[in-house]
């Protein structure tokens, strides 16, 4: 009898232990995502203000030394950055991955003797899948594509922000400008893959749960870059990227859309009115994304010839090939990741 009672108590304690571990892991997942959201939204401005404040205190020498280093190091982001495998392998990114969860699906091998431009779609509100898959090792990008160095391209303005610039570079993130991309594709050897979120800020204005649309018809600059460097184009689609936040969509012609477009034109990003879940409950509104699965599928590379000065006709031809390839990728995998066979990818 006593033996049976002891076994029951032990069993109950084990159940309690595993429940506690599960809760701790869930909290760690929430913290990992929260720190990234705050980094995305306020780290650049916060670090700038803190640096200005330190300049006005007795510790001004620290701020002055950092500013001197900043001037010396100013062009590093344009020259491939300064990635850190240690940062890319932080345990926090594995908790980040498991919160949703996020998965990376490989469909074809990539040759290390070639360079690549990945077109990432859709943008979503924050490009969570793009960050997790290509700026960290949480989903095993280096194991899935051995010998390939991924560079996620983002707004160049982020690299003018103190501290934030160094944090971004440590993950292998680079400015999405011609100088940076030219350097990586021409002076950094082979085996480089630049990930460009092609739709950019314009696409983020239309992302909402249940909608699969991309801004691509008039986005041809990345194709021209690929032709100039002979870099193969790779379509990438992230199923679930639009599901993690809810957004207020302003109709074309409305005052809200007018304000968003002005910001996009002059600053480079479009302010969105969005919400996710609260910090302590999924039933309240907050800045945390909803824990919906994001599955990023890397498609088949399109072989691109090297043409120093491609004509518009050549750009249009390979752009059309790319659009067709992206649609085929979407159609092939949509039913595997929760979409009906009747779902159509909207290309704007």
Residue 224 has pLDDT above 60, yes or no: yes
pLDDT at residue 254, as a whole number: 81
Please compute the mean of the pLDDT values over residues 23-52 and round it to a whole number.
93
Residue 10 has pLDDT above 70, yes or no: no
Q: Is the dihedral of CA 335, 339, 340, 341 positive or negative?
A: negative
User: Tokens 């979120």 sit at which residue?
Assistant: 197
- Residue 149: beta bridge partners? 192
Q: Which long-range contacts (CB under 8 A, 24 or more apart) does 35-39 make?
A: 35/92, 36/96, 36/131, 37/126, 37/287, 37/288, 37/289, 38/287, 39/164, 39/167
pLDDT at residue 206, as a whole number: 83
Report phi then psi at 141, rounded to 5: -60, -35
pLDDT at residue 198, as a whole number: 96
Query: Among 86, 83, 133, which Cα is nearest to 105's?
Result: 133
pLDDT at residue 3, as a whole number: 46
Using an 8 Å Cβ cutoff, are 139 and 165 in contact? no
pLDDT at residue 265, as a whole number: 72
Please compute the mean of the pLDDT values over residues 184-207 and round it to a whole number.
92
Please compute the mean of the pLDDT values over residues 4-19 and round it to a whole number.
55
pLDDT band at 255 (very low <50, low <70, confident <90, very high): confident
Structure confidence by residue, pLDDT tens digits, 138-165: 999 999 999 999 999 999 999 999 999 9
Query: Among 281, 290, 298, 276, which Cα is nearest to 145's?
Result: 298
Both ends of the chain: CA-CA distance in Å?
Answer: 72
Average pLDDT, the chain: 91
The tokens for 156 are 């160049």
Largest interatomic CA distance in the chain: 87
pLDDT band at 212 (very low <50, low <70, confident <90, very high): very high
**For residue 190, how many other CB atoms are within 10 A of its CB?**
15
Q: What is the CATH number of domain 11-347?
A: 3.40.1130
CA dihedral 15, 16, 22, 27 (to 10 degrees): 170
pLDDT at residue 283, as a whole number: 85
pLDDT band at 201 (very low <50, low <70, confident <90, very high): confident
pLDDT at residue 267, as a whole number: 67
Structure confidence by residue, pLDDT tens digits, 308-342: 999 999 999 999 999 999 999 999 999 999 899 99
- Dist. CA 104–CA 139, nearest whole Å: 6
Residue 14 has pLDDT above 70, yes or no: no
Using an 8 Å Cβ cutoff, are 116 and 301 in contact? yes
């Amino acid at each position: 009898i006593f033996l049976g009672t002891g076994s029951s108590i032990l069993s109950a304690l084990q159940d309690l232990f595993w429940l506690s571990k599960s809760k701790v892991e869930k909290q760690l997942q929430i913290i990992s995502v929260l720190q990234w959201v705050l980094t995305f939204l306020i780290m650049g401005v916060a670090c700038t203000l803190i640096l200005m404040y330190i300049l006005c205190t007795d510790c001004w020498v620290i701020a002055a030394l950092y500013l001197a280093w900043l001037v010396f190091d100013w062009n590093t982001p344009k020259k491939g950055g300064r990635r850190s495998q240690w940062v890319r392998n932080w345990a926090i990114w594995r908790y980040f991955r498991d919160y949703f969860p996020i998965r990376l699906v490989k469909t074809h091998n990539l040759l290390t003797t070639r360079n690549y431009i990945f077109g990432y779609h859709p943008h979503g509100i924050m490009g969570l899948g793009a960050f997790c898959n290509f700026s960290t090792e949480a989903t095993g990008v280096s194991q899935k594509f051995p010998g390939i160095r991924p560079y996620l391209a983002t707004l160049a303005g982020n690299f003018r922000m103190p501290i934030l610039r160094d944090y971004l570079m440590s993950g292998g993130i680079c400015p999405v400008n011609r100088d940076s991309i030219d350097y990586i594709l021409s002076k950094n050897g082979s085996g480089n893959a630049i990930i460009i979120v092609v739709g950019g800020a314009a696409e983020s204005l239309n992302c909402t749960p249940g909608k699969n649309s991309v801004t691509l018809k008039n986005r041809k600059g990345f194709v021209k870059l690929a032709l100039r460097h002979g870099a193969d184009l790779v379509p990438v689609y992230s199923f679930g990227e639009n599901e993690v936040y809810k957004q207020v969509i302003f109709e074309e012609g409305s005052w809200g859309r007018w304000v968003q477009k002005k910001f996009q034109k002059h600053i480079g990003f479009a302010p969105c009115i969005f919400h996710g879940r609260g910090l302590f409950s999924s039933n309240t509104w907050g800045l945390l994304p909803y824990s919906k699965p994001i599955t990023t599928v890397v498609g088949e590379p399109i072989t691109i010839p090297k043409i120093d000065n491609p004509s518009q006709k050549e750009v249009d031809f390979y752009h059309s090939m790319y659009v067709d390839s992206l649609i085929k990728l979407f159609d092939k995998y949509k039913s595997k990741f929760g979409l009906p066979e009747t779902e159509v990818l909207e290309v704007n």
